[in-house]
Copies of this chain bind each other. A is one copy, B any other.
Amino acid sequence: MKNLVAGIDVGERSTFCALVDEFGKIYATEKFSTNDYKSFNSFMDKVKTSVESLSRNLDEPHTLCAAGIGIPNGNYYTGEIENAPNLIWKGKLPFSQKLSSLLGMPVVVANDANAAAIGEMMYGGARGMKDFVLITIGTGLGSGIVVNGNVVNGYDGFAGEFGHICAQVNGRQCACGKKGCLECYASTSGIKKTFLELSKNNKVENALKDKKPEDITLSDISKAAKKGDSIAKQTFTETGNILGIALANLISIVSPEAIFINGSVARLGDQLLAPTKKALEANLMRLWKGKVKLLLSSIDSENAPLLGAAALAIKEMQKRSVVIERRRLV
Contact = CB atoms under 8 A, between A and B. Distances in A.
A150 interface: yes
Contacts of A155: 129-132, 255-257
Contacts of A156: 255, 287, 291
A257 B131 CA distance: 22
Interface in A254-289: 254-257, 283-288
A93 to B, nearest CB: 16
Q: How many copies does the complex hold?
A: 2
Nearest to A242: B169
Interface stretch (A96-104, A117-125, A207-215, A244-252): A244-252
Nearest to A250: B253
Interface footprint category on A? 35 or more
Given A131-B154, A147-B147, A285-B178, A161 B245 contact: no
A154 B286 contact: no
A31 B257 CA distance: 38
Interface in A222-247: 245
A253 B160 contact: yes
A181 to B, nearest CB: 9
Contacts of A285: 161, 164, 176-178
Contacts of A284: 178
A330 interface: yes
A160 B287 CA distance: 13
A43 interface: no
B148 A150 contact: yes
A145 interface: yes
A147 B158 contact: no
A165 interface: yes
Given A147-B147, A158-B287, A285-B178, A254 B152 contact: yes
A285 to B, nearest CB: 5
B169 A253 contact: no
A329 interface: yes
A166 B283 CA distance: 8
Given A130-B155, A150-B148, A155-B256, A177 B249 contact: no
11 contacts: A143-B253, A145-B253, A148-B153, A156-B291, A159-B254, A160-B255, A161-B285, A162-B252, A166-B245, A178-B285, A250-B253
Lowest 3 A-B CB distances belong to which pairs? A154-B255, A159-B255, A155-B257
